């Protein structure tokens, strides 16, 4: 097995690149989760409004 010598600058570059890539992926996942949650909340609100309207019509009919 051969060992590969890597300079300190190359190591630092790879560490920084990995760190930045991790940040980018983390922020994208966070953004997607926030959008998904917001869509879920809006869908739930619409459903509740429709249910309230239906109950109001039922109440008015009585």
What is the 3 state secondary structure string of the chain? CCCCCCCHHHHHHHHHHHHHHHHHHHHHHHHHHHHHHHHHHHHHHHHHHHHHHHHHHHHHHC
- How much is the pTM? 0.62
Place of tokens 């739930």: 44
Between 12 and 3, name the one with better pLDDT.
12
Residue 1 has pLDDT above 80, yes or no: no
pLDDT per residue over 21-62, tens digit each?
999 999 999 999 999 999 999 999 999 999 999 999 999 998
CA distance 16 to 24: 12
């Amino acid at each position: 097995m051969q060992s590969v010598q890597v300079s300190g600058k190359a190591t630092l570059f790879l560490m920084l690149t990995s760190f930045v890539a991790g940040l980018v992926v983390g922020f994208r996942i966070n953004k997607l989760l926030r959008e998904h949650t917001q869509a879920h909340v809006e869908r739930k609100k619409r459903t509740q409004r429709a249910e309230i309207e239906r109950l109001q019509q039922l109440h008015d009919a009585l």
